[in-house]
Amino acid sequence: MARSRRIVLGLGAVALVAGAGLAVSGGMRLPAAEVPSASGTPTPEAAAPGTYGAPVPVRPEPTAVATDAPVVETPAPVTGGDLVLTYAGWAEVDGTVEAAGYVPGVVEDTGSCVLTLSRDGIAVETSSPASADATSTACSLLAVPGDQLAPGTWDGSVAYSSPTSTAVSEPFEVVVP
């Protein structure tokens, strides 16, 4: 009886090893409809590795990019008293009355600057184009030759004007020798 037990156990071990070999090699595959799931109902077999469904069509890169229209800012008009003098006085070396200044907050190249000197009902003027810089409009050197001015004290001012803005400096006095 011991011998027949050994034979039965030996045959069982051989059958177990053979079944494991078939399972590992895929020899015991069931059709997709018959693969049992954890719930006990058949589920379709998983897709082969590297297969991910229908190909996605390739679309060309866009050639146009949406952009907003440029913003055009119109400066608010500047009026009276906003021109800052940087220099006003008699220049001995040149024999001229000179003045310069700027209009803060106005940035434009369309205006002009005028230096006006007056005394006893006589007015003498000179002008030059204004120039824009990063944050203001500059009235660069304005000069009236001394031979156009009688000796004495003259009242002066610098004015800026453009199609959109105006500004005037505070009045100043200059003595012509």
| Per-residue pLDDT tens over the stretch 85-126 | 999 999 999 999 999 999 999 999 999 999 999 999 999 999
Instruction: Convert the pLDDT of each residue in 27-73 to its tens digit.
Output: 545 455 455 555 555 555 555 666 667 777 777 777 777 777 776 66
pLDDT of residue 14: 59
Its pTM stands at 0.56
In a domain, 140, yes or no: yes
Number of domains in the chain: 2
In a domain, 21, yes or no: yes
pLDDT of residue 57: 77
Radius of gyration of the chain (CA): 49
pLDDT of residue 139: 97
The CATH number for 126's domain is 2.60.40.10
What is the rounded distance in angstroms from the CA atom of residue 66 to the CA atom of residue 82? 41
In a domain, 51, yes or no: no
In the chain, where does DSSP find H-type helix?
Answer: 2-25
In a domain, 148, yes or no: yes
- Please give the order of strands across the beta sheet that includes 84-91: 84-91, 96-104, 136-145, 131-132
Domain hosting 29: range is: 2-34
In a domain, 20, yes or no: yes
Q: Mapped to the 3 state alphabet, what secondary structure does 128-140 carry?
A: EECEECCCEEEEE
**Are 106 and 168 contained in the same domain?**
yes
In a domain, 153, yes or no: yes
